[in-house]
Amino acid sequence: MKEHVGCGCFPTGRHYPGIAHLLRVRARGVVADLDGDARWSELPIAVLDTETTGRDPAAGDRIVEIGIVVGLRGEITQRHNWLVNPGIPIPDGAREIHGISDEDVKDKPSFAEIAGEVAAALKGTIPAAYNANFDRQFVATELAKSGLQLEHFPACMKPECEWVDPLVWARELQKYEKGKKLGEVAARLGITLENAHRASDDAEAALRILWAFATDTRVPQTYAALVQEQRRLSRAQEDDFRMWRQRNPRP
């Protein structure tokens, strides 16, 4: 006889409203040395943000600034910020966004020189970033180029590990609000962001957004459940966007 494992969800796979945080789930996608059954708000969270020369690391774009802000139980415990010499000119379009010029980074270390520090800052934390795929791809590409030995890579860089993404939760919790940029979401929550598009400032704002969302009953409280529900929401949002694109093709 087949054993049925209760998932607390409708036949479609969607959770019953308001009880996802009560469910015990398999710890798939969590950092290996962290407890998936622990409340994620009581575990160390490292929110990372990058400023770059462009949008595509596969096309040769590089990081020019990286910030990591670590928080635990509502308190910021560490702030890191590195300006990085990308080894290539910073295009005017990128400079107009973040304000970082070739002159600002000409005497700064390359990413390879700070790779060990970046890895150490992420060790033992829940990884997070606003629009996480963007920052994660850049950091993964830079780490791969850096020469850092694989055994020194943080656990969160393993492919199976999910990064917490406040943008996914903003799209769900503020779905009827216009604008989901970091500054727009922060403003609706009363969170100050004075130096937008500077790495550690953006990272701190994203962390405070996460903590604000933690009080919403729709957000799971355990780390594993948060990851599982975020994965479901992300897939649903991608499906919705795909359908929107089909209905509104580019001319």
DSSP the chain: -PPPPP-SB-TTSPBPTT-GGG-----TTS-TTS-TTSBGGGS-EEEEEEEESSS-GGGT--EEEEEEEEEETTEEEEEEEEE---SSPPPHHHHHHH---HHHHTTSPPHHHHHHHHHHHHTTSEEE-TTHHHHHHHHHHHHHHHT--GGGS-GGGSTTPPPB-HHHHHHHHTTTSS--SHHHHHHHTT---SSTTSHHHHHHHHHHHHHHHTTSTTS-SBHHHHHHHHHHHHHHHHHHHHHHHHHS---
Give CATH for domain 38-247.
Answer: 3.30.420.10
5 φ/ψ sector (left φ>0, alpha ψ -120 to 50, else beta) = beta
Q: What tokens does 137 get?
A: 């791809």
pLDDT digits (tens, 9 = 90+) for 100-157: 999 999 999 999 999 999 999 999 999 999 999 999 999 999 999 999 998 899 999 9
Amino acid 246: pLDDT? 86
Q: Domain map of the chain by residue range?
A: 38-247
The pLDDT tens digits for 220-241 are: 999 999 999 999 999 999 998 8
- Percentage above 70 pLDDT, the chain: 90
Amino acid found at 24: R
Rounded to an integer, the average pLDDT of 67-82 is: 97
Average pLDDT over every residue of 47-72: 98
Mean pLDDT of 26-44: 91
What average pLDDT does range 59-72 have in this prediction? 98
- So what's the pLDDT on residue 21? 54
Q: Do residues 161 and 183 touch, judged by C-beta distance below 8 A?
A: no
Given a cut of 90, whether residue 22 has pLDDT beyond it is no
What mean pLDDT, rounded, does the chain reach?
Answer: 90
Q: Which of 224, 249, 115 is nearest to 161 (CA)?
A: 224
Asked which of 26-30, 94-98, 140-144, 221-225 is least confident by mean pLDDT, the reply is 26-30
pLDDT at 186 over 70: yes
At 10 the pLDDT is: 41
Long-range contact list for 93-97, CB < 8 A, 24+ apart? 93/54, 94/51, 94/52, 94/53, 94/54, 94/64, 97/51, 97/197
How far apart CA 190 and CA 183 sit, in angstroms, is 10
Q: What is the pLDDT of residues 42-51, one digit of tens each?
A: 999 999 999 9
Gap between the Cα atoms of 20 and 159, Å rounded = 25
Q: What is the pLDDT of residue 80?
A: 98
Please state which of the ranges 25-29, 34-38, 83-87, 155-159 shows the lowest mean pLDDT: 25-29
